[in-house]
């Protein structure tokens, strides 16, 4: 069936907002639902500045079934991209009940409303974290889903299972599970980027805050891993590539494929020290760092096999980490205190 109007839950977030831009540019009609618990409604205006289109926005919590139903009653969706959810690994260890109830309830309410209004396509924002501690790299979609090292990752595993079982019972439903590796970067305009609340957990926003003098230095969590330089290796993918991957996936769902699973990564591993040097090369800004003890729950190496997404979606990452460092820094410089 033709897909035109797309519900984007979490659409004012880092990946959600870039995806909304790509959807508009590809001729879709995205509608954002977001409770603004970890993003700002100023993002809507910035999407308009970039695309000329102000997407419809509802400030609604996906767990609020009554309010969320009103959106479905008003808008005729053909597909959903489900980004909404709590996503801080460390925080999830401290607040498991909040993570399980928010991430699972929001998904269950969403699926109930999709069934009620016969919306038959969903793309889910999953994560490489579902593989647990990799037995081998690069990770392939058929590799076993492990046990995550934190409640955040466990919610991703559980939601993948909920969607798999729902699709088995509701044959008309098409489900795409997109397993992101490490999203970084920002919109080249500098208007949108990663804008975490508080002290960043993730590497790139922390480096950017050091670069603008907001943080004194980077702490590198461990340099004794079995990797070329001892620091952790990850597959860092530009958020623009990630957003494009969602547009390619919607096109795939329109062919009624049932349940599909794709890694969205670059297929290349980069260590923390390599990232620091890439950032310095891309920006000319020196990043002082200290070496600290390894962080609990971290794996040594994690990067994607990307053949399946290329063969079935015709999609592959176009940007490299120098592009991503440049765009992430540009956003941070223009928004030293985040989006206000």
- Rounded distance, CA 218 to CA 207, Å? 6
Distant-in-sequence, close-in-space partners of 237: CB < 8 Å, separation ≥ 6: 180, 181, 182, 183, 184, 264, 265, 266, 317, 324
Closest distance to ligand WQD from the beta carbon of 338 (Å)? 16
**Cβ count near 17 (within 10 Å):** 30
Distant-in-sequence, close-in-space partners of 207: CB < 8 Å, separation ≥ 6: 218, 275, 276, 279, 287, 328
- Rounded distance, CA 56 to CA 5, Å? 11
- Rounded distance, CA 40 to CA 36, Å? 6
Indicate if the alpha-carbon torsion angle 262, 268, 271, 273 is positive or negative.
Answer: negative
Tokens of 101: 């109830």
Residue nearest to ligand WQD (CB): 232
Q: Collapsing DSSP states into helix, strand and coil, what is residue 207?
A: helix
Q: Collapsing DSSP states into helix, strand and coil, what is residue 32?
A: strand
Exactly one of 99, 152, 262, 303 is catalytic; which is it?
Answer: 152
Q: 55 or 153: whose CB is closer to ligand WQD?
A: 153
Q: 196 or 257: whose CB is closer to ligand WQD?
A: 196
Closest distance to ligand WQD from the beta carbon of 242 (Å)? 11
Q: 203 or 243: whose CB is closer to ligand WQD?
A: 203
Closest distance to ligand WQD from the beta carbon of 234 (Å)? 5
E strand map for the chain:
5-9, 29-34, 56-59, 79-82, 121-127, 174-180, 182-184, 218-221, 233-234, 236-238, 259-264, 270-271, 289-292, 301-302
Give the residues lining the site for ligand WQD (CB under 6 A).
87, 89, 127, 129, 182, 201-203, 206, 219-221, 232, 234, 272, 295, 298
Q: Is 100 a catalytic residue?
A: no
Tokens of 285: 């800004």
Q: 28 or 206: whose CB is closer to ligand WQD?
A: 206
Q: Collapsing DSSP states into helix, strand and coil, what is residue 72?
A: helix
Q: 68 or 225: whose CB is closer to ligand WQD?
A: 225
Q: 78 or 129: whose CB is closer to ligand WQD?
A: 129
- Packing angle of the helix pair 42-51, 14-25 (nearest 10 deg): 30
Tokens of 5: 């109007």
Closest distance to ligand WQD from the beta carbon of 172 (Å)? 30
Closest distance to ligand WQD from the beta carbon of 155 (Å)? 11
Catalytically annotated residues: 152
């Amino acid at each position: 069936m033709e897909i035109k109007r797309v519900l984007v839950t979490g659409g004012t977030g880092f990946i959600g907002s870039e995806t909304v831009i790509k959807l508009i540019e590809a001729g879709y009609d995205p509608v954002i639902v977001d409770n603004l618990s970890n993003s700002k409604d100023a993002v809507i205006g910035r999407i308009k500045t970039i695309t000329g289109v102000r997407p419809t926005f509802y400030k609604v919590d996906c767990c609020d079934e009554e309010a969320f139903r009103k959106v479905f009653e008003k808008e005729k969706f053909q597909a959903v991209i489900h980004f909404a959810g709590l996503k801080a690994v460390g925080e999830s260890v401290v607040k498991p009940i909040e993570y399980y109830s928010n991430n699972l309830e929001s998904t269950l309410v969403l699926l109930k409303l999709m069934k009620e209004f016969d919306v038959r396509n969903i793309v889910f924002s999953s994560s490489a974290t579902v593989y647990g501690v990799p037995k081998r790299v690069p990770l392939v979609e058929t590799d076993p889903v492990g046990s995550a090292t934190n409640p955040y990752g466990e919610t991703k595993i559980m939601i993948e299972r909920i969607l798999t079982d729902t699709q088995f019972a509701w044959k008309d439903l098409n489900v795409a599970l997109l397993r992101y590796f490490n999203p970084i970067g920002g919109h080249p305009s500098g208007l949108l980027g990663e804008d975490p609340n508080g002290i960043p957990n993730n590497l790139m926003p922390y480096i950017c805050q050091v670069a603008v003098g907001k943080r004194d230095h980077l702490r590198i969590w461990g340099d004794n891993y079995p990797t070329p330089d001892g620091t952790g290796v990850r597959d860092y993918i530009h958020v623009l590539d990630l957003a494009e991957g969602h547009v390619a996936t919607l096109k795939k769902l329109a062919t009624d494929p049932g349940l599909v699973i794709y890694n969205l990564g670059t297929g290349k591993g980069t260590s923390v020290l390599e990232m620091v040097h890439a950032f310095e090369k891309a920006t000319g800004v020196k990043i002082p760092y200290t070496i600290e003890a390894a962080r609990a729950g971290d794996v040594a190496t994690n990067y994607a096999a990307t053949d399946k997404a290329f063969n079935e979606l015709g999609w592959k990452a176009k940007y490299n980490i120098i592009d991503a460092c440049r765009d992430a820094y540009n956003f941070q410089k223009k928004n030293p205190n985040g989006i206000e």
